């Protein structure tokens, strides 16, 4: 088929967290521009399997940009060169024929490599488990409009809640800071009435867990916001900082 491309891939290969990794070069031939980046890797992997070699390991699940499983640092940027999308939404037409594509895993001590390009992001789960919830006893279903919430506030909370926890913010940040993720998870509840009872306990617990996981500090470079596939704003970070200082320096209880 005409219009297909040939690419050279430089892929990070690493057996497990303990072993030394290295770049290995592969040819991706006859790549259709309509393929997604992950489909391109699938094709390369099929070739590797046929040759009896170990396929390249990478994370993926929904392949439609909603689950946050796919990762990959492509040519120096999380989820590749396009803005506001995940790797599974990245198409090969975003690359040029004969281009060299460098593929690395997310790099952070809190995201140890499991194998090749797959990293362990359970540190995010532990941060979420530390406080990213509301405690309510279940009962009858309340009327949907019994708690009035201004539309702008509801929208803002919704925007924060669109975080899929992919870790691109950490991957993009020069300090491997998780502030955008944590602040989005803090904000989605801090903005809504249901989140108020645990608002200040939540932010302290989640920040403490974030620090314990070994993520870096925020220098406010804004790289996270620029690379976030869900375009989550660093306004969330300011809100989290405000809540945290409020909680630890001003509030009496909790």
Partner 1 sequence: MSNFAKTFSSSLGKKLVMALTGIFLCTFLIVHLVGNLQLFKDDAGQAFNAYAYFMTHFTPIKVVSYLLYASIIVHALYALMITAGNKKARPVAYAMQAGNQNSAWTSRNMGILGTILLIFIVVHMGDFWWKYHNAELPYAKYEISLDNPNDIQVSEVPYDANRLVHSEVVDIQAGKKIVISKDLYKVVQNAFQTWWYVALYVIAMAALAFHLIHGFKSAFQTIGWNNNRYLPLVRFISVWIFGLLVPIAFAAMPVYFFLFK
Q: Which is nearer to partner 1, 21 or 47 (CB)?
A: 21
- Least Å distance, CB 164 to ligand FES, is 6
Decide: is 219 part of the binding site for ligand HEM (CB under 6 A). yes
Burial class (CB in 10 A: 0-12, 13-18, 19+), 66: middle
202 touching ligand FES, by CB under 6 A: no
Among 23, 46, 54, 147, binds partner 1 (CB under 8 A): 23
Min dist. Cβ of residue 66 to ligand FES (A): 6
Q: Which residues contact 18 (CB under 8 A, 6 or more apart)?
A: none
| CA 155 vs CA 148, 200, 211: distances in Å | 13, 22, 29
Between 163 and 203, whose beta carbon lies closer to ligand FES? 163
Task: State the binding string over 85-114 for ligand FES (x if CB under 6 A, else -).
Answer: -xxx--------------------------
Query: Segment contacting ligand HEM (CB under 6 A): 143-151, 183-191, 214-222, 232-240?
Result: 214-222
> Does 191 engage in binding with partner 1 (CB under 8 A)?
no
Q: Does 245 bind ligand HEM (CB under 6 A)?
A: no
Binding mask 150-189 for partner 1 (x = CB under 8 A): ----------------------x-xxxx------------
Binding of ligand FES at residue 65 (CB under 6 A)?
yes
Considering the complex, state which of residue 32 and residue 221 has its C-beta at the smaller distance from ligand HEM: 221
Q: Which of 218, 229, 230, 232 binds partner 1 (CB under 8 A)?
A: 218
Annotate the chain with DSSP letters as a single string. -TT-EEEEEEEEE-SSSSSPPEEEEEEEEEE-TTSBHHHHHHHHHHHHHHTTPPPPP---SSSSSSS-----EETTEET-SSSS--GGG-BGGGS-TT-EEEEE----TTS-EEETTEE--HHHHHHHHHH-S------SPPPTTSS---HHHHHHHHHHHT-----HHHHHSTT-B-HHHHHHHHHHHHTSGGGSTTHHHHHHHHHHHHHHTT-B------HHHHH-TT---THHHHHHHHHHHIIIII----
**Least Cβ distance, residue 87 to ligand FES (angstroms):** 6
Residues that bind partner 1 (CB under 8 A): 10, 23, 73, 75-77, 81, 102, 104, 107-110, 172, 174-177, 207-208, 210-211, 214-223, 226-227, 234-235, 237-245, 248-249
Residues that bind ligand FES (CB under 6 A): 60-63, 65-70, 86-88
Residues that bind ligand HEM (CB under 6 A): 217, 219-220
């Amino acid at each position: 088929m005409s219009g297909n491309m040939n690419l050279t891939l430089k892929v990070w290969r690493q057996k497990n967290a303990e072993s030394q990794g290295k770049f290995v070069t592969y040819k991706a031939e006859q790549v259709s521009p309509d393929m997604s980046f992950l489909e391109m890797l699938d094709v390369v992997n099929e070739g590797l399997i046929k040759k009896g070699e170990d396929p390249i390991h990478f994370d993926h699940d929904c392949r439609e940009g909603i689950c946050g499983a796919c990762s990959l640092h492509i040519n120096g940027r999380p989820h590749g060169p396009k803005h506001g999308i995940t790797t599974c939404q990245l198409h090969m037409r975003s690359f040029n024929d004969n281009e060299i594509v460098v593929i690395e895993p997310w790099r952070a001590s809190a995201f140890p490599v499991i194998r090749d390009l797959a990293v362990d992001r359970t540190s995010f789960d532990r941060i979420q488990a530390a406080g990213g919830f509301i405690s309510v006893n279940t009962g009858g279903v309340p009327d949907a409009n019994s708690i009035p919430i201004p539309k702008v506030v509801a929208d803002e909370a919704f925007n924060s809640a669109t975080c899929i926890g992919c870790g691109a913010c950490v991957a993009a940040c020069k300090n491997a800071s998780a502030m955008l993720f944590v602040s989005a998870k803090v904000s989605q509840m801090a903005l809504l009435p249901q989140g108020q009872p645990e608002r200040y306990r939540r932010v302290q617990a989640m920040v403490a867990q974030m620090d314990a996981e070994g993520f870096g500090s925020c220098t406010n470079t804004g790289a996270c916001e620029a690379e976030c596939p869900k375009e989550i704003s660093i306004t969330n970070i300011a809100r989290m900082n405000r809540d945290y200082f409020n909680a630890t320096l001003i509030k009496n209880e909790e």
